[in-house]
């Protein structure tokens, strides 16, 4: 936009001229400056300390490891000689989280769209409030509900999927059960649903009224208005919400640990019992682990950290790709 208001021009000028040049040298200013700078440095310091500590703890275990850390599917760090690799954990984590995201995102966006554009004003304000509240409930609560109420029904559901989609290797295999990666994914989906929904709703609230009216005035139906003015505008926000959900799913621990039955080795048939994730493995093994075992678990934690980081970076790249238009 070239028709720039005075305020925008000022804001731009301020961007070119950093705040630090505005310091007056008064004691209060100095104090605040150092407090703020100190806080910033403290965050970096803590991050660095955590990383150094983890790496330092992980190195002895990795040295002693007789198997390839990245490709081995076994996890025997307490044996002599210790043999462990993250392949199975990475597979279980990524697969269950992806399933969770794929199930939760469309439903969550549907909920947000309904609240923002379809329900009456009274219903919308009530529902919006409830969704925000639900997003604030720790996800383990949904996880417990999922484990105690949903999981008993998962065997039948899994069998139905296996019967219909069994020709896809992912859903194939014999003897499907309920302690599977797929079940974990479904429970995770329930856990991350409120947060994705809540963020999507926030995003839809930001859509400028002018864009919505532009679409309506062109003769767009409600759904066409959403497609023309709402979804494109909220695209990056929705991707962000889905990624945040994915990140949460990856870090979820106890519910997944309760669902999964440990069976060694990567099993591509995700409807069959078995599987493990980084977090569930750490929760299950940490208390009984030897010195090397703990080191190995810490190393796996580092990998989870890196995977989450990579996913976030990918999400940012997706968001940035169409920046010219937003």
Partner 1 sequence: MAKRIEVSGLHAYYGGVHAIEDISMTVEPRSVTAFIGPSGCGKSTFLRTLNRMHEVIPGARVEGKVMLDEEDLYGPSVDPVAVRRTVGMVFQRPNPFPTMSIYDNVAAGLKLNGVRGKARLDEIVEESLQGANLWNEVKDRLGKPGAGLSGGQQQRLCIARAIAVRPQVLLMDEPCSALDPISTLAIEDLIGKLKNQFTIVIVTHNMQQAARVSDKTAFFNIAGTGAPGRLIEIDDTSKIFTNPEQKATEDYITGRFG
| Residues contributing to the site for partner 1 (CB under 8 A) | 1-3, 120-121, 208, 210-211, 213-221, 224, 228-229, 232-233, 235, 322, 324-326
**Considering beta carbons, is residue 80 or 221 the nearer one to partner 1?**
221
Q: Shortest distance, CB of residue 230 to partner 1, whole angstroms?
A: 10
CA atoms of 130 and 206, how far apart (whole Å)? 19
Decide: residue 216, CB within 10 A, 0-12 exposed, 13-18 middle, 19+ buried: middle
Q: Name the phi and psi angles at 274, rounded to 5.
A: 125, -175
CA atoms of 299 and 82, how far apart (whole Å)? 14
End-to-end CA distance of the chain: 12
Q: Name the phi and psi angles at 273, rounded to 5.
A: -60, 150
Q: Which residues pair with 84 in a beta bridge?
A: 75
Q: Name the phi and psi angles at 120, rounded to 5.
A: -70, 165
**Considering beta carbons, is residue 232 or 251 the nearer one to partner 1?**
232
**Considering beta carbons, is residue 54 or 214 the nearer one to partner 1?**
214
Q: Shortest distance, CB of residue 98 to partner 1, whole angstroms?
A: 27
CA atoms of 265 and 73, how far apart (whole Å)? 5
Q: Shortest distance, CB of residue 209 to partner 1, whole angstroms?
A: 9
DSSP 8-class letter at 75: E
Q: Shortest distance, CB of residue 109 to partner 1, whole angstroms?
A: 17
**Considering beta carbons, is residue 2 or 39 the nearer one to partner 1?**
2
**Considering beta carbons, is residue 10 or 221 the nearer one to partner 1?**
221
Q: Shortest distance, CB of residue 38 to partner 1, whole angstroms?
A: 40
Q: Shortest distance, CB of residue 126 to partner 1, whole angstroms?
A: 15
For residue 66, CA distances in Å to 18, 50, 133, 193, 319 come to 54, 26, 49, 41, 41
**Considering beta carbons, is residue 79 or 231 the nearer one to partner 1?**
231
Pairing of strands 75-76, 83-84: antiparallel
**All residues at 6 or more sequence positions from 135 whose CB lies less than 8 Å from its CB, including other chains:** 194, 195, 197, 198, 199
Q: Shortest distance, CB of residue 114 to partner 1, whole angstroms?
A: 16
**Considering beta carbons, is residue 16 or 323 the nearer one to partner 1?**
323
Please say whether the beta carbons of 245 and 195 come within 8 A.
yes
């Amino acid at each position: 936009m070239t028709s720039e208001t005075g305020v925008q021009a000022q804001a731009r000028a301020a961007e070119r001229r950093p705040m630090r040049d505005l310091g007056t040298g008064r004691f209060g200013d100095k104090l605040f400056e150092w407090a703020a700078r100190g806080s910033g440095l403290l965050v970096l310091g803590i991050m660095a300390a955590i990383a150094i500590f983890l790496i330092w703890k992980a190195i002895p275990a990795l040295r002693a490891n007789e198997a390839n850390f990245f490709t081995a599917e076994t996890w025997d760090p307490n044996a002599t000689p210790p043999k462990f690799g993250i392949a199975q954990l990475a597979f279980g984590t990524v697969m269950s989280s992806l399933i969770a995201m794929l199930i939760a995102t469309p439903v969550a966006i549907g909920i947000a769209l309904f609240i923002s554009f379809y329900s009456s004003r009274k219903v919308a304000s009530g529902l919006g409030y409830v969704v925000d509240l639900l997003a604030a409930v720790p996800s383990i609560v949904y996880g417990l509900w999922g484990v105690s109420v949903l999981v008993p029904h998962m065997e039948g559901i899994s069998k139905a999927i296996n019967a219909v989609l069994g020709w896809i290797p992912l859903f194939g295999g014999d003897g499907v059960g309920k302690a599977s990666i797929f079940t974990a994914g479904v429970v995770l989906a329930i856990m991350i649903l409120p947060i994705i929904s809540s963020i999507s709703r926030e995003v839809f609230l930001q859509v400028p009224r002018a864009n919505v009216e532009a679409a309506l005035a062109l003769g767009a139906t409600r759904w066409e208005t959403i497609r023309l003015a709402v979804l494109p505008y909220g695209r990056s926000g929705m991707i962000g919400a889905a990624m945040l959900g994915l990140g949460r799913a990856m870090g979820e621990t106890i519910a997944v640990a309760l669902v999964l039955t440990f069976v060694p080795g990567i099993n591509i048939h995700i409807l069959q019992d078995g599987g493990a994730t980084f977090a569930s493995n750490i929760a299950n093994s940490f208390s009984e682990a030897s010195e090397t075992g703990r080191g190995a678990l810490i190393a796996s934690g580092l990998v989870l950290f890196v995977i989450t980081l990579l996913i976030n970076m990918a999400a940012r790249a997706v968001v940035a790709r169409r920046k010219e238009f937003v």
